[in-house]
């Protein structure tokens, strides 16, 4: 059954750095060969996001040959002062096709009045056409990405008819308290395989390998409309 709120887009860039979150604190970094579920979810959240729903990544298609390039870097020393020297291994000249859809976040009952599927779907498609609401990054701040609409499966990819490639154990994504309804923060792992250039992502709730990062209580901000921070009074003053 085709999901009515599905979106399809192409994302590309000169460099990408999809790393395990444990390596984000400094030292040498080496990119995964394919984007993680969490990275693609972050890209879509930069395109369009509301607390009313959560993005679910369905499928990825790798369009260009997987290539790496090393670059020298001077990361900050978090345990002290100054910078250290390190070598980062980036993916270079990347291009992907992505298919995804959104689902209501049932743990945010305060947003129930905003559950208008057609509205969010149309806004999401318009934002993809415009390249997103915020800057797009491919795993790291220094890796600028660009989003454009596409039909998933169109065009010729470098891995069409290539067969199966296994990538071993990889980071999948995070389970946030306001998305799972629990006061815990988990990291998910999985073992992806690419068949003829396509990677089918398993759903977050189907990941059987999880690690507790730490206890965390969801504390999302509550919107009170124009009454927030005296904005309504300010508007009334300006209209008088």
Q: What is the pLDDT of residues 47-97, one digit of tens each?
A: 999 999 999 999 999 999 999 999 888 777 766 677 778 888 999 999 999
Answer yes or no: is 1 within a domain.
no
Among the listed residues 162, 133, 159, the one whose alpha carbon sits nearest the alpha carbon of residue 147: 133
Domain membership of residue 58 as a residue range: 6-239
Answer yes or no: is 140 within a domain.
yes
- Residue 100 sits in a domain whose CATH number is 3.30.70.2660
- In 3-state terms, the chain is what percent helix, strand and coil (to 5)? 25, 35, 40
Q: Which pTM value belongs to this model?
A: 0.86
What is the model's pLDDT at position 222?
Answer: 65
Q: What is d(CA 95, CA 97) in angstroms, rounded to the nearest whole number?
A: 7
Q: Where are the alpha helices (DSSP H) in the chain?
A: 37-47, 117-129, 177-180, 231-239
Q: pLDDT tens, 122-165?
A: 999 999 999 999 999 999 889 999 999 999 999 999 999 999 99
Please report, in angstroms and rounded to a whole number, the separation of the first and last CA atoms in the chain: 54
The number of domains in the chain is 1
Q: What is d(CA 104, CA 50) in angstroms, rounded to the nearest whole number?
A: 10
Q: What is d(CA 240, CA 84) in angstroms, rounded to the nearest whole number?
A: 58
């Amino acid at each position: 059954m085709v999901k009515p709120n599905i979106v399809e887009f192409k994302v590309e860039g000169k460099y990408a750095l999809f790393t395990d979150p444990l390596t984000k604190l400094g030292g040498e970094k080496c990119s995964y060969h394919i984007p993680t579920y969490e990275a693609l979810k972050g890209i879509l959240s930069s395109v369009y996001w509301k607390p009313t729903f959560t993005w679910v990544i369905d499928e990825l298609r790798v369009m260009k040959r997987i290539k790496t390039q090393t670059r020298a870097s001077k990361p900050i020393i978090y345990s002290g002062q100054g910078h250290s020297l390190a070598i980062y291994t980036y993916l270079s000249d990347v291009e992907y096709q992505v298919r995804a859809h959104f689902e209501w976040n049932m743990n945010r009952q305060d947003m129930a009045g905003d559950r208008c599927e057609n509205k969010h779907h149309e806004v999401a498609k318009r934002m993809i056409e415009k390249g997103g609401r915020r800057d797009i990054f491919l795993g790291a701040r220094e890796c600028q990405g660009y989003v454009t609409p596409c039909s998933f499966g169109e065009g010729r990819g470098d891995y069409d008819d290539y067969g199966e490639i296994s990538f071993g154990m990889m980071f999948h994504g995070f389970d946030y308290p306001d998305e799972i309804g629990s006061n815990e923060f988990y990291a998910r792992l999985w073992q992806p395989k690419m068949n003829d250039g396509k990677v089918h992502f398993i759903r977050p709730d189907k990941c059987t390998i999880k690690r507790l990062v730490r206890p965390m209580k969801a504390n999302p901000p509550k919107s009170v409309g124009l009454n927030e921070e005296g904005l309504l009074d300010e508007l009334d003053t300006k209209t008088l």
